[in-house]
Amino acid sequence: MNSNPTEALKLVEPVIHFLDRLIQEQGIYLYMVCVWLSPLLILWILKGGVWRKPSPPCRIILVKVSEPPPVPPELSPTVTGTGQSPADQQSFTA
């Protein structure tokens, strides 16, 4: 690596000449593009475009539908002779 500054400038010289010629010929158009794109850049920065965290990956959630429990069988009613419950019959017997 050469530490001579004139050698380093000779390597950058074609790039500088290209940019000078580009600005001379197309400068007004470059300026207008920068002016029209600057509000979009400002909005992007204010919305956190530079520091925004990446969105979390999509999560797939599986929902397993279980069957309802079986219905218990119906209870058959017990029939007494008088239509009263056995507790009532015992309390009135004398």
| Tens of pLDDT, residues 68-85 | 888 888 887 765 555 555
Q: How far apart are CA 89 and CA 84, in angstroms?
A: 7
Provide the residue count of the chain. Answer: 94
Q: How far is CA 88 from the centre of its chain?
A: 69
pLDDT in tens, 49-71: 777 777 788 888 888 888 888 88
Confidence of residue 45 (pLDDT cuts 50, 70, 90): confident
